[in-house]
Structure 1
């Protein structure tokens, strides 16, 4: 288990143990709409604070929004991009929730706990692959026309920082020891 994963697991365990008896009593779950939104915001803040991949997904979504605003994108393409941008962080949040519950239920290694975590991570991988496919279908022709035309170097110069921003975290991981 990596040091980052151990730290996240320890923080999950501390956060889960910090729920007091008063909150976990018989009235647990009976609260107003405002508290529901506050709990959801706290959950999102916790996930953003502890989950590196969720922060990467949010950064990628920001880049997609920027590209969609800068390029001519139809309504249908916008809907597809929006769906993909919501699907990936949603899968990551479910993955985080599943990992927290598994850590609570099985604090020590167990093959079924590993399976649950691996399957949840696979769901995030599939959602990410789907989003990448949507992005390629929507943006490929707009960014890389099939015929080379005047100003193609400008496209390459504009796309290079975007590509670097998207792939830098993966490149860093490849060369890290």
Structure 2
């Protein structure tokens, strides 16, 4: 791949592609809808609980990582389905591993959320 150098126009174009990817994630991926709903609840709870700056950093990192993992998982699934529309055990394993990665991050994020929010209740 040839590198033609940096231009502002190319950077703006790459941002447009990235924002389109976010749009596609939120518009078409059902699991992302669940993440959006949970994100809205966590943000509302965070404002009501008066989280500290450090707590907000942890919450924002968790939200960002879960959405990024979901986007990568959706990408892997779409590409795998395109490459091998028929059943393939290796493709199934790959898709399961990617979905498992999202679940691991979601569980870790939920644990962090509980560590932050439970003390606020008492």
Q: TM-score, normalised by structure 1?
A: 0.62
* Structure 1 unaligned spans of 5+: 1-25, 146-177
Cα drift, residue 139 of structure 1? 0.4
**Structure 2: gaps spanning 5 or more residues:** none
Distance 1:49 1:74 in 2: 32
**Corresponding residue for residue 35 of structure 2:** 57
Equivalence for 1:92: 70
The equivalent position to 1:70 in structure 2, one of 48, 52, 56, is: 48
Alignment of 1:1-177 (within 5 A): 32-143=10-121, 145=122
Deviation per CA, 1:51-107: give whole Å up to 9, x if none.
Answer: 111111122112111111111322221111111111111110000011111112111
Greater gyration radius: 1
Q: Aligned pairs, how many?
A: 118
Which residue number in structure 2 is paired with residue 168 of structure 1? none
Distance in 2 between residues matched to 1:132 and 1:74, nearest whole Å: 18
| RMSD of equivalent CA atoms | 2.0
> After TM superposition, which residue ranges in structure 1, 4 or more long, deviate above 2 angstroms?
none
CA-to-aligned-CA distance 1:31-53 (integer Å, 9 cap, x gap) = 71121111112111112222111
Q: Could you say which structure has the greater relative contact order, defined with CA pairs below 8 angstroms and 6 or more residues apart?
A: 2
Higher helix share: 2
Quick one: distance in 2 between partners of 1:74 and 1:34?
34
